[in-house]
């Protein structure tokens, strides 16, 4: 079924506010979820709401926290997220970084004890819109096996990089270092479709195309040994800078019973170049207009597809699974706020 | 033929000094070349010397320059390399960054107008040995086609990341964002061996496994659309931070007749965590000791293979092509210093 972005925002804000989230925090959290829907990433969209509400219900989220920020060094911000909402803590840190780079040129924030960020693109996009370069890294539960490995030891370890270009059209890269997301594996399992070969291993470490078996197993890094190396580097960067846990010990982004102990890292750079955005925009156009391979479609630049999907969603609405929508808006929605279940491990 | 690392160093230093390079600069440049040989990357080793000497002969290298460094902001160093030797200018900048991070926590250098760096690993390794996190990016001539594209628009855009771990065993990632290096394509062409499918396109943009045809064509990004996105992001980061040219306009790393106008970026981070290296080392051991896939060898961590190859080379010598060795040490070596050729375009 199709709903409008406004409806999605209203419902998400209403549910969050009813769960006790302050207005402004509810707006930020809802925006990140709806932005994912608008770009066609349902796995990071509204379907995250029931678990987030359960986490709030179970006392795992401090809904009013914005994070305790401390400058460890003049360009290195260390943030105890105080169990706050991921987008709230992150956006507060990013604002502080953007203020600081006028003096330092580059600044980094390491955030621990904060809840799930959702999709990374909206964060770095905000930075690029202000004329700066933005980078984001975030860690997660172990879902990805090492190259040659048979069990998950790494998070999906996404990276996002945004660079200013033409107004409203920044370069925005946002990718996981796994060949496919676990959310997508769940989608394949729901539809009963087979995975492509090489995407996943089962719980015993054997290659599988059975999505159900892969759910209990592990995902391959993208691009073989190189993607594994990058994912591992990002794992180390986040744990080093944020002081957070390594993937095998991470809890709290896929469950509703553990505090979140993953880490987030943001880097903001002020390249101090006049007309940088114009120069970048001109080069990106050269790339888009390069010769195309026989039989291939257009050459896209990271950010292009998300923008066109977003336009399409704003015009025609967001595709939401009816079962999810009724869970969020139907009579059973009250369960999202029921008092703490007896015997719950939180 | 096998030569010792000492012999390789002596010959490289001798040739550089005879070309007018000051002692200390010759040592730095020779070290970077010999380190590549020790790790089995001949494409970044001694075979680069004749071209470098030609560039010196043609007045394209200021052999005594260490770069003009200016702090644009307190943690952002901007370096005009003054056409100096890549390793000399880079190491000088890195030393300055490492001094600065005690105050700022993170610092970045953008370098333009500097010659080829060679392999990136030795630079970031130096940073990790000092207890900091090091990152390096460098741009190059256009050699890689966009995803869906038929012609080269991006450099091979390598990234290197080093993180302190057990003493003498830092994590060191060093990879190009192309699926294979152009140096390897030349090796395949020399041996008359076919490339794997998907590695390269010919000059007309058609898939080819013919290494000779690929030399005039373009390389695929590693990991499909994701590797393309990362390579493009690194292209933008370098050009933005260093103020250098974009790949299609880059000259001077593969020729001996143009000034080098690519860029280099280094980032140094002081994560300010006690016993960080121990924590990293323990996690990396967990990864190495994870369950292995049936039929696969051991699980390696970036840096492991280079270290074992280096040990092997130190014990048994470096494998150098006889034709290269005689070019560097035989009677024809005098040609490496002959006066500027008449009519040369430099």
Give A78's contacts in chain B (Cβ within 8 Å): 272
Let me know if residue A298 belongs to a domain. Answer: no
Are the beta carbons of A227 and B224 separated by less than 8 Å? no
Our separate counts of H helices and E strands in chain B read 11, 12
Residue B43 has what pLDDT? 87
Element (H, E) at B28: helix B23-38
Residues B135-145: tens digit of each pLDDT:
999 999 999 99
Q: Are residues B25 and B173 in the same domain?
A: no
Q: Are residues B166 and B256 in the same domain?
A: yes
Q: Are residues A246 and A269 in the same domain?
A: yes
Closest by CA to B136, choosing from B162, B115, B102, is B162
Are the beta carbons of B240 and A151 separated by less than 8 Å? no
Residue B338 has what pLDDT? 72
Q: Are residues B147 and B240 in the same domain?
A: yes
* CA of B265 vs chain A CAs: smallest distance (Å): 12
Residue B272 has what pLDDT? 81
Neighbours of B263 (CB within 10 A): 29
Q: Are residues A93 and A206 in the same domain?
A: no
Among A293, A295, A304, A305, pick the best mutation site for testing chain B contact (most B Cβ within 10 A).
A293
* Three-point CA angle A75, B172, B223, nearest 5°: 95
- pTM for the whole structure: 0.96
* CA of A76 vs chain B CAs: smallest distance (Å): 5
Are the beta carbons of A229 and B294 separated by less than 8 Å? no
Would you say the C-alpha torsion B181, B187, B189, B192 has a positive or negative sign?
Answer: negative
Residue B27 has what pLDDT? 98
CB neighbour list of residue A221: distance below 8 Å, 6 or more residues apart? A144, A145, A146, A147, A154, A177, A178, A179, A227, A228, A230, A231
Give B72's contacts in chain A (Cβ within 8 Å): 105, 272
Residue A191 has what pLDDT? 86
- Out of B148, B153, B173, the one facing A229 most closely (by C-beta) is B173
Residue B252 has what pLDDT? 96
Count residue pairs from A and B with Cβ separation < 8 A: 246
Residues B149-197: tens digit of each pLDDT:
999 999 999 999 999 999 999 999 999 999 998 888 888 988 899 999 9
Closest by CA to A93, choosing from A44, A238, A112, is A112
- Tell me how far apart the alpha carbons of residues B146 and B219 are, in angstroms, rounded to a whole number: 9
Q: Are residues B40 and B72 in the same domain?
A: no
Q: In chain B, what percentage of residues exceed pLDDT 90?
A: 89
Neighbours of B99 (CB within 10 A): 11
Are the beta carbons of B108 and A107 separated by less than 8 Å? no
* CA of B345 vs chain A CAs: smallest distance (Å): 28
Q: Are residues B226 and B170 in the same domain?
A: yes
| Closest-CA residue of chain A to B154 | A287
Are the beta carbons of B240 and A201 separated by less than 8 Å? no
Q: Which residue has the tokens 């150098």?
A: B320
Let me know if residue A295 belongs to a domain. Answer: no
Residue A338 has what pLDDT? 72
| Closest-CA residue of chain B to A201 | B293
Let me know if residue B286 belongs to a domain. Answer: no
**CATH number of the CATH domain containing B120:** 3.30.1370.60
Average pLDDT over residues B61-79: 98
Closest by CA to A201, choosing from B303, B300, B296, is B296
- Tell me how far apart the alpha carbons of residues A70 and B93 are, in angstroms, rounded to a whole number: 28
Residue A156 has what pLDDT? 97
CB neighbour list of residue A290: distance below 8 Å, 6 or more residues apart? A299, B145, B146, B149, B150, B151, B153
- Tell me how far apart the alpha carbons of residues A45 and A265 are, in angstroms, rounded to a whole number: 21
Residue A339 has what pLDDT? 60
Are the beta carbons of A73 and B104 separated by less than 8 Å? yes
Check whether B344 has a pLDDT greater than 60: no
Structure tokens at B125: 């390794």
Q: Which residue has the tokens 């496919």?
A: A180
* CA of A260 vs chain B CAs: smallest distance (Å): 19
Distances B147 to A97, B178, B228, B230, B231 between C-alpha atoms, Å: 33, 11, 6, 11, 11
Task: Sheet containing B200-201: give its strands across.
Answer: B207-208, B200-201, B218-219
- Tell me how far apart the alpha carbons of residues B233 and B222 are, in angstroms, rounded to a whole number: 14
- Tell me how far apart the alpha carbons of residues A207 and A145 are, in angstroms, rounded to a whole number: 12
* CA of B84 vs chain A CAs: smallest distance (Å): 23
Are the beta carbons of B299 and A151 separated by less than 8 Å? no
Let me know if residue B99 belongs to a domain. Answer: yes
- Tell me how far apart the alpha carbons of residues A278 and A274 are, in angstroms, rounded to a whole number: 9
Residue B342 has what pLDDT? 44
Are the beta carbons of B73 and A147 separated by less than 8 Å? no
Among B72, B164, B181, B293, pick the best mutation site for testing chain A contact (most A Cβ within 10 A).
B293
Distances A106 to A219, B6, B72, B125, B318 between C-alpha atoms, Å: 34, 41, 11, 22, 41
Neighbours of B281 (CB within 10 A): 18
Range of the domain at A35: 1-57+304-346
Q: Are residues B151 and B117 in the same domain?
A: yes
Neighbours of B191 (CB within 10 A): 8
User: Whole-number mean pLDDT of chain B?
Assistant: 95
Q: Where are the beta strands (DSSP E) in chain B?
A: 2-3, 68-73, 76-84, 106-114, 133-138, 159-163, 171-175, 200-201, 207-208, 218-219, 263-269, 318-319
Q: Are residues B165 and B266 in the same domain?
A: yes
| Closest-CA residue of chain A to B302 | A229
- Tell me how far apart the alpha carbons of residues A208 and B29 are, in angstroms, rounded to a whole number: 49
Structure tokens at A181: 């997301």
- Out of A149, A163, A293, the one facing B240 most closely (by C-beta) is A163
Q: Are residues A231 and A256 in the same domain?
A: yes
* CA of A300 vs chain B CAs: smallest distance (Å): 8
Structure tokens at A272: 């101090």
- Out of A148, A273, A283, the one facing B246 most closely (by C-beta) is A283
Residues of chain A where predicted confidence (pLDDT) is lower than 70: 339-346
Instruction: Please tell me the number of Cα atoms within 13 Å of B109 on its side-chain side.
Output: 31
Structure tokens at A49: 């709401």
Give A241's contacts in chain B (Cβ within 8 Å): 133, 269, 271
Are the beta carbons of A106 and B283 separated by less than 8 Å? no
Q: Are residues A4 and A42 in the same domain?
A: yes
CB neighbour list of residue A338: distance below 8 Å, 6 or more residues apart? A57
Residues B230-240: tens digit of each pLDDT:
999 999 999 99
Residue B261 has what pLDDT? 98
**Band of the pLDDT at B35, cuts 50, 70, 90?**
very high
Are the beta carbons of B232 and A201 separated by less than 8 Å? no
- Out of B232, B273, B292, the one facing A302 most closely (by C-beta) is B232
Q: In chain B, what percentage of residues exceed pLDDT 70?
A: 98
Give A74's contacts in chain B (Cβ within 8 Å): 74-75, 103-105
Let me know if residue B296 belongs to a domain. Answer: no
**CATH number of the CATH domain containing B212:** 3.30.60
Q: Are residues B126 and B85 in the same domain?
A: yes
Give B149's contacts in chain A (Cβ within 8 Å): 287, 290-293, 296, 299
- Tell me how far apart the alpha carbons of residues B321 and A218 are, in angstroms, rounded to a whole number: 43
Neighbours of B168 (CB within 10 A): 7
Number of domains in chain B: 3
Let me know if residue A9 belongs to a domain. Answer: yes
**b/e per residue A217-252 (b: at least 16 CB within 10 A):** bbbbbbbebbbbbbbbbbbbbbbbbbbbbbbbebeb
Residues B195-252: tens digit of each pLDDT:
999 999 999 999 999 999 999 999 999 999 999 999 999 999 999 999 999 999 999 9
């Amino acid at each position: 079924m199709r709903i409008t972005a406004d409806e999605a925002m209203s419902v998400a804000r209403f549910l969050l506010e009813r769960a006790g989230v302050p207005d402004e925090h509810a707006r930020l959290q809802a925006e990140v979820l709806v932005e994912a829907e608008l770009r066609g990433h349902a796995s990071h969209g509204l379907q995250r709401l029931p678990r987030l509400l359960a986490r709030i219900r179970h006392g795992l989220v401090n809904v009013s926290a914005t994070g305790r920020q401390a400058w460890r060094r003049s360009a290195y911000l260390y943030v105890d997220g105080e169990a706050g909402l991921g987008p709230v803590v992150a956006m507060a840190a990013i604002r502080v970084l953007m203020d600081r780079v006028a003096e330092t040129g580059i600044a980094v924030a390491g955030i621990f004890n904060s809840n799930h960020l959702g999709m990374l693109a909206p964060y770095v996009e905000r930075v690029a819109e202000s004329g700066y370069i933005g980078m984001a890294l975030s860690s997660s539960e172990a879902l990805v096996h090492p190259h040659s490995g048979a069990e998950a030891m790494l998070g999906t370890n996404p990276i996002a990089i945004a660079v200013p270009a033409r107004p409203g059209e920044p370069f925005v890269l946002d990718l996981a270092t796994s060949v496919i997301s676990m959310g997508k594996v769940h989608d394949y399992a729901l539809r009963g479709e087979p995975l492509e070969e090489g995407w996943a291993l089962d719980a015993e470490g054997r290659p599988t195309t059975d999505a159900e078996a892969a759910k209990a197993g592990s995902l391959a890094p993208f691009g073989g040994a190189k993607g594994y190396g990058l994912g591992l580097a990002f794992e180390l960067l986040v744990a080093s800078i944020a002081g957070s846990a390594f993937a095998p010990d991470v809890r709290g982004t896929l469950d509703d019973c553990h505090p979140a102990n993953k880490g987030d890292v943001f880097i903001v750079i002020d390249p101090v170049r006049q007309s940088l955005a114009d120069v970048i925009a001109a080069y990106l156009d050269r790339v888009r207009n390069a010769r195309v391979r026989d039989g291939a479609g257009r050459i896209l630049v990271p950010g292009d597809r998300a923008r066109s999907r977003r336009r399409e969603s704003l015009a025609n609405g967001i595709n939401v699974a009816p079962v999810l929508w009724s869970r969020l808006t139907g009579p059973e929605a009250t369960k999202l706020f029921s008092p703490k279940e007896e015997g719950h491990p939180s």
